[in-house]
Structure 1
C-alpha cells in the first residue's frame, strides 16, 4: 500500500518568503515545471534526483539545493522509501535574477553552516510571533547565498566604530518599540544600513541577537506585570506577544516555568502596597 503524501504549506508574515513547504513523498514524481521564485531546498530523509537545464542532479540530505526562478526542473525519489524535504520559496528579487545562470551551473551547495541556518529558520517560521527572528535569520541566509552565487561583497561593511553606533541606535529603537515590535527592514531603512550588517553589528556589540534582546525585554515586562497580579492573557497583550500561548512558550523557554506558575509564587508573599 502506497503511503499518502504528508504535506504542510503556508505563507509566513515575513517579507521575501513567498511560501514554506514541508513534504514527505514516497511515489510522487514532479514533471518538468518552473517557479517564479527561488527554491531553497533541504532534504531531511532520502534523496531527490532532478534535471535542471538538461543536466542531471541530486538533492542530498547534507547539501543545500538552490534552484533559480524560471528554469524548468523535475524531481523524483531515488529510493522506494521516498523523501522528506523542506522548502522555502523566496521572492525573485530577494537574491536577484542576475544570478540565475550561476545557480543553474551550481545548484548544490556544500555548506553545513548554511544548512543549519535554514533548518533554524524553518523552526522559527513554524511558530507565531517570531517575525523579527525569522527576518534576521533570513537576512543572514541570503547574504551567504549571495556569496555562493559570486557576489562577494553584499553591502559595504561599516568600520568598527560605525558598527558600534549602529548597534546602539538599533537597541534604542527596540527599547522604544517593545510593545509594537519592529521589522528588520524598517530598522534598516531608519538606520540606513543593510539588514544583515545590523544583525551582525548588534550581536557583536551586545553578545545577543536583536530578536533575543527584544524577547528578553518583553519577558522582563511580563514578569513585573505577573508579580503585580495581572492575568496571563492581559499580560500577553500588554507586552507585545501575539497571544497567551506565545507568551507561555517564550516565558517558559527563558524563565524555566510557565507564567501561571511564576505568578503563583508571588501569591505566597503578599505585598502591602498601601
Structure 2
C-alpha cells in the first residue's frame, strides 16, 4: 500500500475527537458467530462525535465511542472489542457491519447494504432502517423495531443471559428467524419464512404473520402465542391482532406454562412433551395432534 504523507493521514482520521461518557433450523444447535475477516483499506477511524454529515470512502473502524449523524460509508463498518457506535439521522453503509465482542451499536434510520455479524455482542438496536442480507451470531440483547431484514435472523443468546434476548416489534424478515436462548418476543411483525424459538427463558408471539412453520421447543419459561402483557404493542387495551401462520404450529418439550389463543394456523397444531397447552380461540386448517388433539 502506498505510504501516506502525515498531512494526508491526518485527514483520514479527521473524525477522531475527544469524548467522555459511556452508554451504559438444526435441532438443538445454536447459531454460530460469524468468523472474523480482515480489515480492508482505506480505513477511517472514529472515536468521537461528529454532528456534520460524514462521507467515508472506504471502511469505518469504530475504536472507543463513535457518535455520528448522517453518514455514508462506501465500505464496511467494524468495531473494536467493547466499542460503542451510535448512528443517528439516517445514512447507509454499502458493506457489512461487523460487531466485536462486548460492542454496543444503535442504528437509527440506517440502510445496511450487506449483513450484520455479531461476535458475542453486548447490545444491538435497529430502528426504522433496513438490512439487505442476514443478521447472524451471538448477542446478549438484540432489538429490531420497524426495520426490514432481507435475509435470515439467526441469533444465539449466551446461556448466562436470563433477562434479555431478542425482541422484534413491527419488523419484517425475509429469511428464516432462528432464535436460541434468552427472552424471545415477536410482536406485530411479518416473517416471510418460518420461526424457530429454542431454549427460551420466555417466548411470546403476538399479532404476527408467519408464512412457514412456527416451532417453539424446550422453553424454560412461559410460552404465550397470542398476546402478552410485557409486549407493549400487544398489551391489554390495544386493538387485538391475530397471529396468522401459513403452515404448522409445533409446540415441543416446553415447560408447564404454554398458552395459545388468538391464532389462525393453516396447517397442524402439534403439541408434544409433558405439558398440555391451554388452547383458546385457535383455528386449525390441518389436524390437532399430540396433547392438543
- Common fold: TM-score over 0.5: no
Q: Larger C-alpha radius of gyration, 1 or 2?
A: 1
* TM-score of the pair, normalised by structure 2: 0.22
RCO higher in structure (CA 8 A, sep ≥6): 1
